[in-house]
Structure 1
Amino acid sequence: MKQKIAVLGAGSWGTALAMVLVENGHDVIIWGHKETQINEINTHHTNAHYLKEITLPSKLKGTSDLKECVKDADAVLFVVPTKAMRDVSNQFNQVCDNQPVIIHASKGLEQDSHKRITEILEEEISPNHRQAIVVLSGPSHAEEVAVKDVTTITAASNSMQAAEYVQRLFSNDYFRVYTNSDVIGVEMGAALKNIIALGSGALHGLGYGDNARAAIMTRGLAEISRLGVAMGANPLTFIGLSGVGDLAVTCASEHSRNFRAGYLLGKGNSLDDVLNNMGMIVEGVYTTKAAYQLAQERHIEMPITEAIYDVIYNHTDVPTTVKNIMLREHKSEQEL
């Protein structure tokens, strides 16, 4: 059944997901705060800064008017950076005129509060302006979804009815959606894998090969599971699409901005130079701080996260950091 979908966030991932929804026959309008970008979407059917050489569907419409975007929407998809999520969801709450299903496809933890995105949405959006909240996450690069590469991701919600609704909205012959009831696990996996991707990129920048990348991904997954389970997640979630799947794609591809940022750090660039040259938000930089603080509060051992925190926030030398983590006290692989 044709639905009206509002997509909040006109970056690469928001645009790619909007393209999938248009492909599936829905009435889709995408919101962004940059008037020039919205004009480009409506006039030229491109979003060149985020998706180069991609032609957008002519039926995809853009607006910088949030109230217009969400009016009478059946579902609202939030795809904005974590640091903007609270502000945008608050704005949405003020202009919403009905009770849509809320979906989010962002990956991160809020600074200071360390809250997951679902928790932010629950706090900022009145129950009168939302039905269930659904997390859409998994191994997916916007650049590949935009050209219809085969992709599988997860829709997670406390309401299986809502998760199945989102599954129907998005699923087609190149974009397959599975359902999951573990919201905490899916959100924690989505956020924390960006930290490990920074480390994977840094190792690549230093010239290390596949052995090192396999090591950081495997031990990184152990850290993600450790903290995620402490937060209430199902450990099995971390061997699924939003766990090992998302970790693998983010740690091994130059499409990943977190991998690219880590690569530049490994090459000796300063963090300020890296962030200034990326042109997009590098969520892993901010999630590292939140995860490090969470681990300290809960006494969870996360040596890779701690090492990346030291590189980013204490300006520790990257090669020395790698050597130090390799020379840590010997452990059993099965230690939790």
Structure 2
Amino acid sequence: MTGPDVLDAVEAAGLVIDGHLDLAYNAGVGRDLTLALDELRSREGPDARDIATVTFGALRAGRVALTLGTLFAMPRTDTSPDGYTDADGAYAQALAQLDRYRRWQDAGHIRLLTPGAQVAAHLRTYAADPDGTPLGVVLLMEGADPIRTPDDLPWWVEQGVRIVGPAWRGTRYAGGTGVPGGLTPLGGELLDAMREQRVTLDASHLAEQAFWEAVERQPDVIASHVGARARVPTDRHLTDDMLRAIGERGGMVGLVLYNGFLQPGWRRGDPPSTRATLAAMLAHLGDVAGWAHVGLGSDLDGGFGMREFPEGLDSAADLGRVADLAPAEHRAGVRAGNWGRWLTRDRA
């Protein structure tokens, strides 16, 4: 089956691709994603700070065929006193998450994939048998501190990592959310190594100066889970020039679904952002980056839960409904086709 045939099958089956989920991190802090969602919510209780929205069952119910699943090491902060304080600690966290993904694969819950032919074959199989095919997972490292030095990058590539975001907050490699600045000297070395190893840059969380320095060194770039700074003024989002640069380089922009990133001034406890607000953010990304370069990057359960999810959406089972807010001619692309095209492109 050729690439276009795969994408036709994905569209016909109504499949969904999500550009960002912290699956292993959430399991590491105690969430059993193998449970039914109702059971997981019952175990955590109605007073949980972030009510769960993601399990393997909920993803299957939403026909989510594939996601970019993160290796995310949490640094030590006031709210995360057990986080890492050095490269070895970050490395240990990421190794534990890699092991969890492999154990899930051994148990038949997921299938670890690398972009290209493996993704195309998986999408073809999932379209033919969505009830009998496990979730596909392409590994994305969010925050590069687990790469102890750039010399470690080939080893991570051997483990299946093909996408790396240098920053979360600031890291040893780059300025990030809330931490302005550019690439560090080590960050410049990492970006050069990424280009040599054909590892895609994830620009999510990069500070603006670091963004422009990074895309000069590695123009193969996506932003897996972001919004538009023009609509919600935070350095967590990208400016129109940054969004446009990703589209011009053939990359992808994934729409993050946290209410606070969709609606200016939103605070926990406020009513959810409306469908109109969500549609406006989606439209802005499409108009600026180009509709062929926009997909989902939900970040569900990435530090928020059901109460922080937009109006009319309850769980990962509803992800496909977000694409219904796009113009009719772009819905299939937002739902899965654009990520599918990017993930199955020729990388020779």
TM-score normalised by length of structure 1: 0.29
Ranked by relative contact order (alpha carbons within 8 Å, sequence separation 6 or more), the top structure is 2
Please identify which structure carries the higher helix content: 1
The structure with the largest alpha-carbon Rg is 1
